Chains A and B, each alone.
Chain A
Amino acid sequence: AQSVTQPDIHITVSEGASLELRCNYSYGATPYLFWYVQSPGQGLQLLLKYFSGDTLVQGIKGFEAEFKRSQSSFNLRKPSVHWSDAAEYFCAGTGGGAQKLVFGQGTRLTINP
């Protein structure tokens, strides 16, 4: 079955430190992959997406993600976090078709001052 897994439920980093959020997928073919962010009390906002081509994808707010087929991973990175990055982050994937997304469990990011 198609699945997306985020191994880390909660991560705490200091402001200015680098960040990596993990995402693993299980799909028969190359999936379409997304990272969304949800600020407290808000809906989901798309950070970036991977459909094909260059495996390093740039997104909004200084985020990037790298698709690694050999590791079935699509990890999200940011070189230096800001207090405003505190939020919940969701990785999601689809095999296409009806475009139904399968979401990971989410990773809650806390920023220490």
Chain B
Amino acid sequence: DVKVTQSSRYLVKRTGEKVFLECVQDMDHENMFWYRQDPGLGLRLIYFSYDVKMKEKGDIPEGYSVSREKKERFSLILESASTNQTSMYLCASIAGGGGVYEQYFGPGTRLTVT
């Protein structure tokens, strides 16, 4: 079974702190994604990566950056956390290649910025 793990289920940080959210997948997937989930807005794509050291902005990249130094690990970075970044963050991965496959999701990290 594909497994996507996220480093923390719950995080509480203070405004202005630098925050790292980590995601690891164990299926050698090329593509990885970071989403933000807010009530009534569904999931919105922050960044995605289609290969090591490659990244592309999603729909709401402002205030975030990412890092992918190894294929299995994709990190989301909040350079200076703000209260409007309080949210649920979901990581996902998917195989690459020419086919279309489903994304596999981690359990999520609920981040609260105070």
Contacts and interface: CB of A to CB of B under 8 A. Distances in A.
27 contacts: A36-B105, A43-B90, A43-B105, A43-B107, A43-B108, A44-B43, A44-B90, A44-B92, A51-B100, A90-B42, A90-B43, A96-B100, A98-B31, A98-B50, A98-B56, A99-B31, A99-B100, A99-B103, A100-B33, A101-B45, A103-B35, A103-B42, A103-B43, A105-B40, A105-B41, A105-B42, A106-B42
B61 interface: no
Nearest to A48: B102
Interface residues of A: mostly helix, strand, loop or mixed? loop
Interface residues of B: mostly helix, strand, loop or mixed? strand
A36 B92 CA distance: 13
A32 interface: yes
| Best-buried of B4, B90, B100 by chain A (most CB within 10 Å) | B100
A11 interface: no
A25 interface: no
B48 interface: yes
Interface residues of A, number: 25
A106 B39 CA distance: 8
B94 interface: yes
Contacts of B102: 34, 46, 49
Contact of A99 (B101, B106, B107): B101
Contacts of A92: 43
A43 B106 contact: yes
Interface in B86-108: 90, 92, 94, 100-108
Interface string A10-41: 00000000000000000000001010100001
Nearest to B9: A41
Interface in B57-114: 58, 90, 92, 94, 100-108
Contacts of A100: 33, 45, 48, 58
Contacts of B44: 103
Contact of B100 (A32, A41, A44, A46): A32
Interface string A32-72: 10101000011111100101000000000000000000000
